[in-house]
Amino acid sequence: MKNLAKYISIGLIAGLIVTGCGSEGAGNTASTDSGIAAANSTVAADTESSVAEEEVSAPRLDLTSFKASDYVTLGDYTEIVISAADIEPTEEQLQEKIKEFTTSHAPADYEAKDGDTVNIDYVGKKDDVPFDGGTASGYDLTLGSGAFIDGFEEGLIGTKAGDQVSLDLTFPEDYGAENLAGAAVVFDVTVNSIKPAEPVEYTDELVAANTDYDTTEKYNEYLKESIRSSNKNAKSSEAFMNLGEFTGEYPEGLANYYYDYYTQMYTNYYGADALKQAAAGYDSTRDYMKEYLGEGLNQQMQADLLLLAVAEKENIACEGEDYESYIEGVLEQVGTSREELINQYGEGFVNYSYLTDRAYALLNDRVVVK
């Protein structure tokens, strides 16, 4: 089953992750590195904690437990005006897009250099027999990173996209796998593509080889339109958030859903022991998550409440042809059955995704650029 989150709305602040958006505020973590440090620095492994034996709840959202309009008062959204000047691409934005392009693509004759990232397929063989853990496809390797044994990365310096090379190498004597320690092996490597560490020359030839456009001028116009669309979405989202006056309180059912959801994410990423240590001294993992996620989560819940309040006001209901069509579309995209969908995500979250999706679309239709 594919990842449902790729296909259904999670409100206006879709970028919220377990780090709490990096927004400032007491108890909010600015990066995943900070999160790891918090989990491992000051708390000893055998620290007693009231959450040590706590069982993490499976995230389930109960939409019937609250009414969004009790937490936000909607303003007039008959017409949502954004300035045309605010969505026009800047030269800086255009150049950033061009830089992204010229560090993601290289000319056909480009030779890989130290610092470049090569996408490779490889098969490692000992005595002409592939060994366990020595095969991969579509692997991104930054040359010079030291991720592979000596000679592997160096052997790819100077290769071009499409090249196939055989690398005769020897594993270190102290290598962790006994059957490979000190062993002579051969890696057959295919270089699929190269991402340069530094921008390559931006030319018509580079554009024509990697896009549906044949000149930089035409591709620039495409990039500008893409930037306009992105800017419009960003400005629209800002305008949507200004449509509501929030009470500053959040429904317990919604907050607990997110605490459980990000607790599960944290556990999957860092492990249960790290969570136990990080939450030492808190009454529950939910209490820890409340502080850990900080203001970023409050912003997410404000976005949720705004959209759900619009759905309430517009009498958008989880029934009828449109609802069934939405569910069928999700099932087709994620490749699962309705029963599996409900079992994995819960009916409340599936309904939430429909309501917020339709409310967001309705607000988008009210946007006017002037």
Per-residue pLDDT 10s for the chain (370 aa) are 444 443 344 333 333 222 333 333 333 332 323 222 222 222 233 333 444 444 445 688 999 999 999 999 999 999 999 999 999 999 999 999 999 999 999 999 999 999 999 999 999 999 999 999 999 999 999 999 999 999 999 999 999 999 999 999 999 999 989 999 999 999 999 999 999 999 999 999 999 999 999 999 999 999 999 999 999 999 999 999 999 999 999 999 999 999 999 998 899 899 999 999 999 999 998 999 999 999 999 999 999 999 999 999 999 999 999 999 999 999 998 899 999 999 888 999 999 999 999 999 999 999 999 9
DSSP labels, 90-139? PHHHHHHHHHHHHTT---TTPPP-TT-EEEEEEEEEETTEEEEEEEEEEE
What is the pLDDT at residue 114? 97
Q: Are 112 and 194 in contact (CB under 8 A)?
A: yes
Cβ neighbour number for residue 358 with a 10 Å cutoff: 21
Orientation angle between helical segments 216-241 and 347-365, nearest 10 degrees: 110
**CA dihedral angle for residue 276, residue 278, residue 280, residue 281, rounded to 10 degrees:** -150
What is the pLDDT at residue 223? 98
Task: State the burial class of residue 208 (Cβ atoms within 10 Å of its Cβ: 0-12, 13-18, 19+).
Answer: middle
Q: Where are the domains of the chain?
A: 4-77+243-369, 117-195
Q: What is the β-pairing status of strands 72-74 and 129-142? A: unpaired
What the block records as the tokens of 168 is 């005769």
Q: What is the β-pairing status of strands 244-246 and 72-74? A: antiparallel
What is the CATH number assigned to the segment(s) 117-195? 3.10.50.40
What is the pLDDT at residue 65? 94
What is the pLDDT at residue 58? 65
What is the pLDDT at residue 334? 86
What is the pLDDT at residue 103? 95
Separation of alpha carbons 189 and 353, rounded Å: 44
Q: H or E stretch including 169?
A: strand 164-170
DSSP H helical segments within the chain, as ranges? 32-40, 84-87, 91-102, 204-210, 216-241, 252-270, 272-278, 285-313, 320-334, 338-345, 347-365
What is the pLDDT at residue 163? 97
